[in-house]
Amino acid sequence: MRGAKASFFMRYRKLSSDGDYVFGSGKNDFLVNSPEAVAQAILTRLKLWLGEWFADTSDGTGWNQSIVGKHSKNLYELTLHQRVLETPGVKSIVDFQSALDPDTRRLTVSMTVNTIYGEASLNGDLTT
């Protein structure tokens, strides 16, 4: 796997607990080539709604199409798994659990992923 690490560079600006960009600490404001960088990329991709990004309206998670509303757990988990596995730096999903409250439309996930930099754990609310 050494070759994959050397040929792939990942740099993400850190996010605060409120989801805002972190500034003011120079290089320490970034996640670089780490499981945490891949984890943040996963969360960012999952929270992006299909059609939301003006530069590529074909990118995004199909929230209305596959997740919220009257969709089966199998469909929304398949949608989330696919989105996670297509994230650069992700090798595999080790563990994945989710709970969707259809009344509040709140989706919480807990997952462990194997990345090219090591294992990363993600827990939280995906509702945007």
Please list the pLDDT of the chain residue by residue as tens digits (128 residues).
444 444 678 998 988 888 888 898 888 889 899 999 999 999 999 998 888 888 888 888 888 877 776 767 788 899 999 999 999 999 999 999 998 887 887 889 999 999 999 999 999 888 75
**Long-range CB pairs of 46-55, under 8 A, 24+ apart, other chains included:** 46/80, 46/83, 46/84, 46/109, 46/126, 47/126, 47/128, 49/128
Count, residues in the chain:
128
Query: Would 114 be classed as within a structural domain?
Result: yes
Quote the pTM value.
0.82
Query: Would 74 be classed as within a structural domain?
Result: yes
Query: Would 87 be classed as within a structural domain?
Result: yes
Q: Give the range of the structural domain holding residue 51, as residue numbers without chain letter.
A: 35-125
The total of structural domains in the chain comes to 1
Query: Would 24 be classed as within a structural domain?
Result: no
Query: Would 1 be classed as within a structural domain?
Result: no
- CATH code, domain with 93: 3.10.450.40
Token pair for residue 86? 């297509």
Query: Would 25 be classed as within a structural domain?
Result: no
Query: Would 82 be classed as within a structural domain?
Result: yes
Closest among 75, 54, 52 to 65, alpha carbons compared: 75
> 3-class SS at 47?
helix
